[in-house]
Amino acid sequence: MEILKISLAFFKIGIVAFGGGWSVVGLIKQEIVPNWMSADAFSSLIAIAQSTPGPIALNAATLVGWQKAGFLGALAATFSVIAFPLLAMSITMAFSKYIPLKKDLADESLRSGSMAMIIMTLWTLLPQNTLPGPWIFALASFGVTAFTKVNGVWVILGAGAINMLLGVLP
């Protein structure tokens, strides 16, 4: 039953997973926290999903499934989250000749939707308190990744290493 619930949740996430990794992280969080997992556990899980190879949404699905129902849970979550995108692409390719969509308008609408999702994700991920530590880590990482060409992976690994040495975060 647990596996069926996981499949259903991730199939649903796959349907609205527009706009790349981070907006999908917000959707997954919406489904998972706090029913299945605490907010802190979810944050660490996302950090792992980001510092391992592969698309972050897929990795997050695999990890949540693994935590909840072992190997079969991981398998079910991973394939459920890509089921709808694959289906949508297959159907679109088969019928693309007959769809009278104005591509540029559809594209602009999708981009607005995807940006709104990223904003919502950011909102839910902001530190929940006014302790300076988490805000300093968040703002510093924003500065580095927004204004330099440094890969986000190094920022994640670096922040992990810094906190491992200094233990400044609770």
Partner 1 sequence: MKIPSKGKGPNKTIKKTEPTPLRIFLTLAQINTLTLGGGYVIVPVIGNSFQKQGWIDEEEFYRIFSRAQVFPGPVALSTSFLCSYRIAGVKGAIAAVLGVVLPPFIALILVGGFISLYGDSELFKRFLNGAGAVVPGLVGSMLWKTAKNRKWTARVFIEVGILAILLILFPSAAFFILIGGIVALYLGRLLWKS
Interacting positions 137-166 with partner 1 (CB under 8 A): 137-146, 151-153, 155-157, 159-164
The distance of Cα 53 from the centroid of its chain, to the nearest Å, equals 14
Judged by CB under 8 A, the residue of 4, 34, 38, 52 near partner 1 is: 52
Which amino acid is present at 5?
A: K
1 is a contact residue toward partner 1 (CB under 8 A): no
Which residue, 4 or 115, has its beta carbon nearer to partner 1? 115
Which residue, 4 or 86, has its beta carbon nearer to partner 1? 86
C-alpha count within 13 angstroms, C-beta hemisphere, residue 169: 16
Interacting positions 76-105 with partner 1 (CB under 8 A): 78-79, 81-82, 84-86, 88-89, 92-93, 102, 105
Judged by CB under 8 A, the residue of 97, 126, 130, 149 near partner 1 is: 126
Among the listed residues 134, 114, 133, 116, the one whose alpha carbon sits nearest the alpha carbon of residue 125: 134
Q: Which residues of 89-103 are buried (b: 16+ CB within 10 A; e: fewer)?
A: eeeeeeeeeeeeeee
